[in-house]
């Protein structure tokens, strides 16, 4: 059972004690006023001793001190300056442990980053996406057709997880009957001991080794057959990635599994929630299905499935008069930038026909900008097209349960009822 905890009001905490990375803020969906205060009073904020409200401890050893960048344009300038702000050794606040490192290109700098990114890029190139579109639509239709009507069920497990897992199986050409393994590995990869997913770090390593073993079998089959357009085949045949170390292969698999899974999954749930919270927007959509193409990026802004990316300063640098030192951790809070009233009009409102809906930070910017952004857009567009063809209303029946993380901003469950 979750502990009941009291979250103090953002304006009652002394500025220097504010820790925006405290997962309890996200679990309880109360981080908004914290970020609003930081944007107004301390947009480049130093948190010296990250305090964890739920466990009543300082995370000195685990994450240590870090900077928070909370304004849209400042985030953009950090994200596009990879010469000063490195993605190594990690893009979350947690540094890799020495006994289990899984290098992945999201946490690499050039030139290695660029080489590996290039190898996976073709799988999400427009031509390949077009090839996948029919299958994605068919699988979406099957999932929607199988849903119960006029009774309450969990949207997260029945739709969001099921669809994103099927999509991943398509990308990897992964045995379809084993696809639930992908969901499990995705959850395990981002879990922390005791959070309900895994009990210990050792359990995490064991399960991820199983993942590596499974994918190594697939690699060995594909490397000896004709090159195809699935991700494993592409990595196995590309001269630049063919000789990856096993842990590097695992790292990049985890990147693609998590990148393509949690994020789209939580956008699928976020969209349902956003439309229910703004019934006038739902009505607008019912009257004009063409708005789906501008609603999808708005869902992705509103949800911001990855709340932040972290960088490490390679040299001393000043932002807004604050002196960031070489080696300091710097966190770009996309979730805050996406609500920056100086750049986005009415940022706290969900508006499906915004003029510039793609004006958001959810996919990042610069050399690490999300590889899968067009794929994510396409999946969500297909989902909403098929929903609107079938159902008059998908009604939220209770509170969502939110993930206990300040990195993956998402949902564990959302009770809904389909009204035909
Ligand atoms: C709504 C869905 C998604 C969101 C919000 C999202 C968000 C992000 C963000 C914030 C980054 C880092 C950007 C930066 O550091 O500047 C990223 C990178 C990445 N994403 Fe996504 N992503 C989504 C879907 C996907 C999908 C479907 C895939 C799978 C193909 C994917 C694969 C990747 C990869 C491989 C990277 C690393 C790129 C690099 O380091 O060069 N993402 N994504």
In this prediction, residue 3 carries a pLDDT of 57
Which pair of tokens denotes residue 256?
């693609």
Mutate to test the pocket of ligand 1, among 171, 362, 372, 384 (most ligand atoms within 8 A of CB): 372
Res. 59 pLDDT band, cuts 50 70 90: confident
Res. 194 pLDDT band, cuts 50 70 90: confident
Is 226 within 8 Å of 154 (Cβ atoms)? no
Mutate to test the pocket of ligand 1, among 174, 235, 263 (most ligand atoms within 8 A of CB): 263
Find the DSSP H helices in 81-198: 112-120, 126-145, 155, 162-172, 180-190
Q: How far apart are CA 209 and CA 211, in angstroms?
A: 5
Count Cβ atoms within 10 A of the Cβ of residue 200 and give its class: 0-12 exposed, 13-18 middle, 19 or more buried: exposed
Q: How far apart are CA 137 and CA 140, in angstroms?
A: 5
Q: Does residue 338 form part of some domain?
A: yes
Ordered DSSP codes for 41-106: H-SEEEESS-EETTTTEE-TTTT--EEEE-SHHHHHHHHT-TTTEE--S-SSSSPPBTTB----GG
Q: Which atom of ligand 1 is nearest to the CA of 79?
A: 16
Q: How far apart are CA 119 and CA 258, in angstroms?
A: 18
How crowded is residue 259: how many other Cβ atoms within 10 Å of its Cβ? 22
Q: Does residue 223 form part of some domain?
A: yes
CA of 417 to the centre of ligand 1 (A): 31
Q: Does residue 162 form part of some domain?
A: yes
Q: What is the CATH number of the domain that holds 141?
A: 1.10.630.10
List the domain range (segments joined by +) for residue 46. Answer: 10-419
Q: Which protein residues are within 6 Å of ligand 1, measured from CB? A: 79, 105-106, 117, 124, 255-256, 259-260, 263-264, 267, 300, 305-306, 309, 362-366, 368-372, 375-376
What is the pTM for the complete model shown?
0.94
Closest CA to 145 of 380, 381, 387, 384: 387
CA of 377 to the centre of ligand 1 (A): 12
Q: Does residue 2 form part of some domain?
A: no
Reply yes or no on whether the pLDDT at 79 is more than 90: yes
Res. 316 pLDDT band, cuts 50 70 90: very high
Reply yes or no on whether the pLDDT at 102 is more than 90: no
* b/e 136-164 (16+ beta carbons within 10 angstroms → b): bbebbeebbeebeeeeebbbbebbbbbbb
How crowded is residue 121: how many other Cβ atoms within 10 Å of its Cβ? 12
Reply yes or no on whether the pLDDT at 201 is more than 90: no
Mean pLDDT over residues 103-126, rounded? 88
In this prediction, residue 139 carries a pLDDT of 92
The kind and range of the H/E element at 152 are strand 152-154
Res. 258 pLDDT band, cuts 50 70 90: confident
Number of structural domains in the chain: 1
Report the range of poorest mean pLDDT among 151-165, 255-269, 405-419: 255-269
Q: Helices 292-303 & 373-390, crossing angle to 10 degrees? A: 120
Closest CA to 266 of 305, 306, 309: 305
Q: How far apart are CA 401 and CA 156, in angstroms?
A: 10
- Residue closest via CA to ligand 1's atom 3 equals 263
Query: Average per-residue pLDDT in the chain?
Result: 93
Reply yes or no on whether the pLDDT at 125 is more than 70: yes
How crowded is residue 122: how many other Cβ atoms within 10 Å of its Cβ? 13
CA of 256 to the centre of ligand 1 (A): 8
- Residue closest via CA to ligand 1's atom 20 equals 370
Reply yes or no on whether the pLDDT at 1 is more than 50: no
**DSSP structural state of residue 205:** H
Q: Does residue 120 form part of some domain?
A: yes
- Residue closest via CA to ligand 1's atom 15 equals 368
Q: Which residue has the higher pLDDT, 189 or 401?
A: 401
In this prediction, residue 4 carries a pLDDT of 67
Reply yes or no on whether the pLDDT at 195 is more than 80: no
CA of 269 to the centre of ligand 1 (A): 18
CA of 320 to the centre of ligand 1 (A): 28
């Amino acid at each position: 059972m979750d502990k009941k905890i009291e979250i103090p009001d953002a304006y009652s905490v002394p500025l220097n004690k504010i820790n925006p990375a405290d997962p309890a803020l996200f679990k309880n969906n109360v981080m908004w006023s914290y970020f609003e205060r930081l944007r107004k009073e301390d947009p480049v904020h130093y948190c010296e001793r990250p305090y964890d409200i739920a466990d009543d401890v300082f995370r000195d050893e685990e994450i240590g001190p870090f900077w928070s960048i909370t304004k849209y344009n400042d985030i953009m300038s950090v994200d596009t300056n990879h010469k000063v702000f490195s993605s190594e050794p990690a893009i979350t606040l947690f540094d890799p442990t020495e006994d289990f490192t899984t290098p992945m290109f999201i946490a690499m700098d050039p030139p290695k980053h660029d080489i590996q990114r290039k190898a996976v890029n073709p799988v999400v190139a427009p031509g390949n996406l077009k090839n996948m579109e029919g299958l994605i639509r068919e699988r979406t239709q099957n999932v929607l057709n199988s849903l119960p009507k006029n009774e309450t069920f969990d949207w997260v497990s029945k739709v969001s997880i099921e669809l994103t897992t099927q999509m991943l199986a398509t990308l990897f050409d992964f045995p379809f009957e084993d696809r639930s393994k992908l969901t499990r590995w995705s959850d395990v990869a981002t879990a922390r001991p005791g959070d309900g997913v895994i009990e210990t770090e050792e359990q995490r390593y064991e399960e991820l080794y199983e993942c590596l073993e499974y994918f190594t079998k697939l690699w060995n089959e594909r490397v000896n057959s004709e090159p195809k357009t699935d991700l494993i085949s592409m990595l196995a045949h590309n001269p630049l990635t063919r000789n990856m170390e096993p842990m590097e292969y695992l790292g990049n698999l985890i990147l693609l599994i998590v990148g393509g899974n949690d994020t789209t999954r939580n956008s699928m749930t976020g969209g349902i929630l956003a439309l229910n919270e703004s019934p006038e927007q739902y009505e607008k959509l019912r009257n004009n299905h063409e708005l789906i193409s501008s609603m999808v990026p708005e869902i992705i802004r509103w949800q911001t499935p990855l709340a932040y990316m972290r960088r490490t300063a390679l040299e001393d640098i000043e932002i807004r008069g604050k002196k960031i030192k070489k080696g300091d951790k710097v966190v770009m809070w996309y979730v805050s930038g996406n609500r920056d009233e100086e750049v986005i009009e009415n940022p706290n409102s969900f508006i499906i026909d915004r003029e510039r809906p793609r004006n958001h930070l959810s996919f990042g910017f610069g050399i690490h900008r999300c590889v899968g952004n067009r794929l994510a857009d396409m999946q969500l567009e297909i989902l909403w097209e098929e929903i609107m063809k079938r159902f008059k209303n998908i009604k939220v029946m209770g509170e969502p349960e939110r993930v206990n993380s300040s990195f993956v901003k998402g949902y564990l469950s959302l009770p809904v009822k389909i009204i035909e």
